[in-house]
Amino acid sequence: VIVEVAKLAGVSPSTASRVLSNSTYRVSAETRARVLEAAKSLDFVPNALARGLHESHLPVVGVLVHDLADPYFAEIARGVEDAACASGHLVVVASSDRIIEREISYARLLRSMRAEAIVFAGSGTDDETYTHETRRHANAVEAYGGAVVHLSPHARGKADIGYDNHGPMIELVAALAGLGHRRIAYLAGPANLFVARQRLAGFQDGIAAAGLEHDERLIVEADLTAAAGADGIDRLLARDTGASAVVCVNDLAAFGALRRAAELGLRVPRDISIAGFDDISVAAQMAPSLTTIRVPLHELGARAFERVVKVLAGQRPRRVTLPTEVVLRGSTGRHRG
């Protein structure tokens, strides 16, 4: 209804558009003032669909995650949002639950509404259909001028904005070894996720680097949830491995491990040390507070959006690796023979 504004201001729609959009055309100060006033009095809010149809993209960035209710992803999404809001971009969040069809369908939806960018926040998997379909939509997004950003390793390459899943794990194991632990167990994530594989490899390399004995029984398959962590502790204990420390694939699993240990009457870290990965914000609130590897999640999201801006501006930004840090807290302690 910009025509109404134009009519009220006594100018043509073209002129009204020129002052109401952030075009660089020059309009006389007097005319501009009249249009602005008319717009205000009519409570005019431009139709983003009409504008988007013309420019063939909407000021929206889609963030594809595994589960928005998982703090790991919520913190990343929040980072994207904080960076995006300054330029009037909205962020749509889409949880796939790692269901391939759901993620593909979301990518398609984002493409259909010409989102300016699509950020793949969750770890990629090997699945061929997933890789192919997902890439098809991503290509289409790029074709209409949108940006595609990966925050995790995926089938077609490394993360655009990422962090090291391997190195810090070696450091963490070294720290535990330094505390006297010789039998360190690992609650692993789903083997089809690149991130889980890298973390596991980091753990194993850490064991080797620390000169500890490799023992398959110390590796327990789990998942990225608290329930899986609790269950993992049960299975580990049933194996009677003599583990004095447990490293978990992520914080959520570590929370479950912590809880289950407490339920079983094990004191942490006196009887057993437990560590996580990610440093989601509640990790520091646990009692004892969780030793973990700090990943700058909020920044990861914010940087993703910065990359989007650059890509849309025609630049070809370089890949970025954000620093991580081993944070030793109350859930790990010296091994007591």
Taking CB under 7 A as the criterion, the residue among 25, 242, 282, 334 binding DNA is 25
**CA–CA distance, 326 with 309 (Å, rounded to integer):** 31
**CA–CA distance, 26 with 29 (Å, rounded to integer):** 9
Residues 43-72 that bind DNA (CB under 7 A): 44, 46-47, 50-51, 53-56
**CA–CA distance, 291 with 310 (Å, rounded to integer):** 36
- By a kind-dependent CB cut-off of 5 to 8 A, residue 191 interacts, out of DNA, its own copies, none, with none
Judged by CB under 7 A, which stretch of 9-17, 82-90, 179-187, 317-325 contacts DNA?
Answer: 9-17
Q: Is there binding between residue 1 and DNA (CB under 7 A)?
A: yes
Check: CB of residue 299 under 8 Å from CB of residue 242: no
Coil/strand/helix, residue 159:
coil
Cβ distance to DNA smaller for residue 51 or 135 = 51
Cβ distance to DNA smaller for residue 51 or 329 = 51
Checking DSSP bridges between strand 245-248 and strand 273-275, what pairing results, if any? Answer: parallel
Q: Is there binding between residue 327 and its own copies (CB under 8 A)?
A: no
Check: CB of residue 193 under 8 Å from CB of residue 250: no
Residues 115-154 that bind its own copies (CB under 8 A): 136-137, 140
- By a kind-dependent CB cut-off of 5 to 8 A, residue 18 interacts, out of its own copies, DNA, none, with DNA
**CA–CA distance, 203 with 292 (Å, rounded to integer):** 13
Angle between helical axes of 100-112 and 128-143 (0-180°, round to 10): 10
User: Which parts of this chain interact with its own copies (CB under 8 A)?
Assistant: 43, 45-50, 52-53, 58, 60, 62, 67-69, 71, 74-75, 77-78, 81-82, 85, 88, 90-95, 102, 105-106, 108-114, 136-137, 140, 226, 255-256, 258-259, 262, 268, 281-282, 284-289, 298
User: Which parts of this chain interact with DNA (CB under 7 A)?
Assistant: 1-3, 11-15, 17-18, 20-21, 23, 25-28, 30-32, 44, 46-47, 50-51, 53-56
